[in-house]
Amino acid sequence: MEEKILKIKESLNDALSNVEKEADILNIKSEYIGKKSEIQQLLTSLKDMKVEDKRKYGSLINNSKKEMEELISNKLEELDSKSNISFDDSLDYDLEIGSLHPITIVAKEVTDILKRMGFTVVSGPEMESEYYNFEALNIPKDHPARDMQDTYYLDNGMLLRTQTSDNQIHAMENYGAPLRICAPGRTFRNEDLDANHENTFFQIEGMVIDKGVSIENLMYVMQSVLREVFKSEIKVRLRPGFFPFTEPSYEMDMSCLICGGKGCPTCKHSGYIELVGCGMVHPNVLKAGGIDSEEYTGFAFGIGLTRLAMMKYKINDIRVLNSGDIRYLEQFKVQ
Ligand code: DAH
């Protein structure tokens, strides 16, 4: 037994020494101390042991698991402190300081707010399979919802993800329940370009799964995010919506800040901009992620980061965001 545990710890040490990204460390965490990990199996096996073995091995296994948890959280902290990059002041740089892209600024703002609420930031692939982008999200082949999202299919049988919701399935598979993740990312749809439509835009996905999660929790998170991003109360409208992966589903619109709600081309003269799709996670989606829908409930949301940046910075033509025109883009500063 001692030897077995020693081996597990050594292998954890090895694994940790080879990774530098938060998501990789979290994968290691679920592999080594998650529900299906070896150490967890040893803990479960205690109940079938003889009393004297239980005494002998109980604290050994428990303490080892604690040690492993500590190793992992130390590694995460180490990564956090490394991210404060410092520059060598003794060198004479003659470079102009650049500025962050407006979408980068709002993405960071939203992830910072969510992180403070206990969300972990994850990321998934932009080239995705039909399974993760559609099927596992309760959108089978021939479902009309596929037409709502004009998809770029690739020659290799994959596609460019049309939504960041694919991260919901990856996260459930990787981390199980309870779960609290957010995933900012780039998404693609085969749209004709105009002032309001881009074929490449950004969303941030969020998902919370736990016992007793409710719509109130979802609304609280959405309100907190919007209030903090805009630093003031903004007018929000909640409507029933339809998404195959949530039931019930809602759409949240905010008053158009470009025209002050009076109506303009950006809000298609409605005075409102669609900003968030959200709802309670459909049991079929929990099932696809391997989570027992009798035991757990969850909510999910997808915020249009591109739209959020347009509202925050009063940008009335979406095309400038991908234009790479530095003269235009450098006017946006972190506030
Ligand atoms: N993926 C949806 C879209 O791109 C947005 C969305 C709706 C995300 C509902 C969600 C959700 O997580 O629960 O239109």
Question: Whose C-alpha lies nearest to ligand 1, atom 4?
Answer: 163
Q: What confidence tens digit (pLDDT) does each residue in 128-137 have?
A: 999 999 999 9
Contact residues for 280 (Cβ-Cβ < 8 A; gap 6+): 213, 215, 218, 246, 247, 248, 297, 298, 299
Band of residue 178 on the pLDDT scale cut at 50, 70, 90? very high
Q: How far does the centroid of ligand 1 lie from the alpha carbon of residue 250, in Å?
A: 9
For atom 8 of ligand 1, the residue with the nearest CA is: 302
Is residue 20 very low, low, confident or very high in pLDDT (cuts 50, 70, 90)?
Answer: confident
For residue 301, the CA-to-ligand 1 centroid distance in Å is 6
Mean pLDDT of the chain: 91
Q: Residue 302 C-alpha to ligand 1 middle, in angstroms?
A: 4
Count how many Cα atoms sit within 13 Å of the Cα of residue 299 in the half-sphere of its side chain: 20
Cα 144 to averaged position of ligand 1 atoms, centre (Å)? 15
Query: Is the pTM here over 0.75, yes or no?
Result: no
- How would residue 94 be classed by pLDDT, with cut points 50, 70 and 90? low
Better-predicted residue by pLDDT, 283 or 59:
283
Residue 235: which of 252, 218, 250 has the closest Cα?
A: 252
Distance between CA atoms of residues 134 and 140, nearest Å? 7
Q: Categorize the per-residue pLDDT at 323 as very low, low, confident or very high, splitting at 50, 70 and 90.
A: confident
Report which protein residue has its CA nearest ligand 1's atom 12: 301
Which residues sit with their C-beta closer than 6 Å to ligand 1? 163, 165, 205, 243, 246, 249, 277-279, 300-302
